[in-house]
Structures are given as C-alpha cells and as structure tokens.
Amino acid sequence: MPGTLLIRLKGLGDIVHVLPSLQMLRATRPAEPLGFLCQKPFGAIVPASLGVKVFELRAGATFAETLALARRVRCQRYDRLFDLFGNPRTALLALLTGIPFRAGFDYRIRRWAYHATFTPPDPNLHLTALFGQFLAHFGCGGPLGHPRLEWTSADEALARELLRGRGRPLLGMNPHTTYPSKAWPLEHYRDLAKRWHAATGQPVLVFWGPGEEDTARRLVADLGPARAFTHPALTIPQFVALLARLDLLVTADTGPMNIAWALDVPTVALFGPTTRRAVAPRGPRHLVLHHPDLACLECHREVCPDGRCLRELTPDLVWRELWAKHSSPSVHLPPEAGRVVSPPENQEIISDPPSDHGHGPQGATLGIQGLAGGPGRGGPPLESSDPGWPFLRSPATGAGLSQNGMDGRWGAADIALGNRRADPSARRAAVFLDRDGTLNPDPGYISRPEDFELFPGVGKELRRLRDQGFLLVLVTNQSGVVRGLISPGALAAVHTKLKARLAEDGVTLDGIYVCPHHPEFPPETVPNLCLCRKPAPGLILQAAADLGIDLGQSFAVGDRMTDVQMAVNAGVRPVLVTEAPPAIPPIEGLAVAGSLREAVDLILGHPRAGSGDQDRVAT
C-alpha cells in the first residue's frame, strides 16, 4: 500500500504549522500509512488520533544514529517523501531512506537529494499555507483546517492542579527564545508582570522548556510570589494542557506562540528579526506588535549587536495595546446600583507611588497610562524603576495615593476631590465591606430584591463602626450583570433594599462600588480585562479617590481570599470572616474572625498606625 512521509525537523512552532497538512492527508487518505519525521521530542505534539507514525532524531545525532533512523524508515516502505525543512541533514536523510519519490524545496546543492523540487511563488507565505501549497504542487493537496492539539485526561488533571487556587484572568509569559535576537528583554517581561498585578491583582504564570528553568525561576524570584509563579518540568502534552487554560499569553516568536494560536488562546506576539507574515498568529483574538519604524526589521540575524527592534518595543507600548484590545466592554449601571470604576481614559493606574512631588526615581515611564489610547492626559508621566503597589492618579491634578508608612502599604495621602486637593486632616478611615457571604447569605446570583436579606445583626454591627467615625463602603463583584443573569435595574433594586434595611438601624453607606465584569464574558471578546474585579484593587482605589479615604487607616472585610488579596493589593488591612479558616499562606496584617461581630471587634480594637496603643480611630 502506498504511504507518505513528511519531514519537518524543527522547531516546535513550525511543526504546529505542519499539523493541518497531516490532518488533510489523513482525511483524504484515511487508510494510507502516514509518517512524520522530526527532532526529538517535538513528535509529541502530533495528535495520536491522526494515526501518524512518528520518527524522532535527537539533536546532535551522529551519522550512525542518522543511518539507523533511515533504516527504520525504510522498513515502512513509504512511496512518497516530502521534505518540508530542506536543510543538509534532512536532505541526507531523505536520500538515505531510498523512498521511490522524494520532493523538497529547491535549495542549492540539496536539490540533488530529491526527484522533484518546489519553488514557492511567495516564500514568506504563512507556513500553514506554504506547506499546503507544497503538497498541492505534487498532487497531494486538499482543504486545510486549523491545527488540532490533543492531551490526555491526566494531562488536564495536572494542569488543573497546578492552577488550583489561582484566579482569573490568567496571563502567561514565555520569556525564552531559541536565539538571542528574537528575545524581548527580560526586564520588559518583569515590568509587564508588575503592571499586570497592579491592574488585576493576579500573578502571571511564567512558562519554560528544556534549558530555560533557571531563567524562569530567577524572574519569578525577582517578582515575588504575589506577582508570578511557574510550573515544574512538563512533557509537551502537559505543557499544551496548561497553556490551554490561559486567558492571555505574551511571548516573542516562539513555539509556545504557535501552540497558543492553535489553541485559540489570545496571544500578544512580539516580533523583531523574524518574518511576521510567515508565522504570526492570525485571527481577531491575537495582537502582533513590532517596532514602528526600524528599517532593519525582519533581518533574520540570530545575534544582533544593536537589538533596538525589541528593546525599544517598550512595556508602555505593549501594555497600552494589550489593554486597548482586551479591556472589558463598558457596563452602565443606574446610580442606585452602585459606582463602576472609571474607565482608563478618565484616570490612570500607576504601578508605583510618587514621591511628595509626584515623581519617583528617574527611569522608564511605567504604569497603565491612557490605556485606551495614548498616554495619560494629566501632568507629567510618573517615572519609576520598580513598579509595585498600584494607586490612582487624578488626570486633572496629578494627585495620587502615596506612601503613608503603614507597613509599606499605600494610603490616600494626596487624593484630589473635584478640583481641589484633599486636606490631609480631612481624610477619614473606612471599612470596605464585601456583600454576598459577608452581609447577607450567598445563594448564588441574587437577581430579585425579594431574595435579598441581611444576616441578623448586620445593621447594629455596622452602626458600631459608624459611631467610631469609619466610612462604610460596599465593594462587590457582580459578574451576573455581564453574564445576563442580573439586570442593572434588578441590581439597583437589591441595593435599594439593602440601604433600606441598614437605615432601620440608623446606618448609611457612604458608597457602593460594583464590578460588573468577568474575564469570560462576553465570550466573543475574551479575555475581558478590567481594573476592578477582585482581587484587583480598583474598587477600593476608586472609592479612595472619590471619598478622600486614608487607606493606611482602613480595613476590608470579606468572606473569601479574593477579598483578602484585594485588601493587600490596595494597601488596607484585611479581615477574613469565616467559621472554618482555610489553609492560607502567611499574610502580614491578616485578621481572621468567626463572624461580622468579631470582625468589628478586631477593627475597633486595632490601634491607629503610628500612635500609642490607646489611640483609637475616632470621629
């Protein structure tokens, strides 16, 4: 029976682009033997369901090993060989197999290893199409689909375990490349990871492959566990299963870039010396970025003494483009439902606090500045060499939240109120309150006011806080809005009832702040990024800017670890309300209470930062 052998020695990403051709050959020749030869271990990317016999040659193989592999291929008695790589080694391999018909690219002396050659009309055609065009030239063409990848249920279970307890959205970074000129600088990845954490409250997942672990772990160590984590050594199918769970991947021109494209994981692909048109991820979910005007782009040098093409592709530019493409659609709520965090064009989230004069150390301009299109509009850009805790900055005045000396966290030392700066003596402490599970039972999405009731005694406990001068601010994730499970009007009705019930105990909320977003909704625009979904600090920071809150003297109370993480990210003291404390890592300043009453006792018993033990927060 006739059979076909395809050769594409490396790399992993290029082999992803061969998969549509293998899929097509299997569909058009279902009973025909089909083989594929590549470098070890890349054959693991070929789906077992295709029934392809995979031959692997290790990198640096001796001539004896090459000859032994050719003998194994001969035993299969293929009658067609298509060399889709065309370097001297694969040309020699093709010749040694003795297959009756051998075809390859028309490359110099290598052409003599083949019976027929192919010269592509457009050598920079996207690889998937180029390989299909090659096969069609020799009468083996057919419709090409999207590459399909497979992994086992055990691979899936491992991926789930590695991400257990991790939140969404999940950003992956692959800071490695096969040669130096393709690499985006490691300090740029570090900067981007800090911005991501400052905006979303989530860490990034740093990927690595053979020979790359040390670099990945150094990056994770530099960023710290709040901002980054990584994985153990993985097989290729395990790597694929883990990458499939990302919301977004940032990478240079690498194998993981092509895997993410095959998986339809939204990808930010950063290009310099390689040809974008040949390999860049295609489709509306992906973003391909490169230097705007260098004449030497796509030079194909493996080592470049200049390196500006990727060095000058700054984190600022990448961050702005990333956020402009993937930010959540606007959701408008009635005033009674609560306040939504201002969109980026109305404020800036900067990743390091300014000095008293609004500037940090000299360095690259950092932060989420003018996310929806261009730099922020108010005052000079903040400069910093090490972005960390996030804070708000008013575009009207340049005012922001600055360090207040409370255990290294940030307080509202310089928040603009309207067109004037807040008088420091007028700043007040606040308690930020989660809603569902903290103030009221959490049966799921509460979409009707008749389904909403406070826990007994909530009003009286909040009155104790109010009597001691605390502002009371509700901060709540309500993704049921964007999911279509709760209408904005229904949310307004629920919160109207909430306020009425609290009023019965003489309690008024100073603000209600709502995140109506979710990374997975709407599905057609995944990932939907926002500044406010817990554990992002946006709800607290917006309230601080609106109400003149001293974050260093404030607390956040909630029943989930996302509430704790939000508090830490915003620089307020977290209080976790739970009857069964979960296993949690040590978190400085975290208090655990068995009830809302205990939480209030803890807050009222806490001394003011920088004062004597008897100096309490008061009106």
Q: Which residue has tokens 């040390």?
A: 214
Per the annotation, the verdict on 436 as an active-site residue is yes
- With contact defined as beta carbons under 8 Å apart, do 44 and 72 qualify? no
CA distance 188 to 304: 18
Return the DSSP state at 297: T
The single residue of 352, 434, 546, 550 carrying the catalytic annotation is 434
Which pairing describes strands 591-593 and 116-118: parallel, antiparallel, or unpaired?
Answer: unpaired
Radius of gyration of the chain (CA): 29
Out of 83, 253, 316, 436, the active site residue is: 436
Q: Do the beta carbons of residue 50 and residue 32 sit within 8 Å?
A: no
Based on the residue annotation, tell me whether 510 is a catalytic residue of this protein.
no
- CA–CA separation, 369 vs 351, rounded Å? 10
Q: Backbone phi, then psi, for 103, in 5-degree steps?
A: -130, 145
Say if strands 171-174 and 116-118 run parallel, antiparallel, or are unpaired: unpaired
The residues that bridge with 593 in the sheet, in sequence order, are 577
User: Residues 30-60, buried b or exposed e (16+ Cβ, 10 A)?
Assistant: eebbbbbbbbeebbbbbbeebebbbbbbeee
Say how far apart CA 248 and CA 241 lie, in whole Å: 14
* Residue 405 burial (C-beta neighbours within 10 Å; 0-12, 13-18, 19+): exposed
Distances (CA, A) of 146 to 66, 149, 176, 244: 32, 10, 25, 15
Active site residues: 434, 436
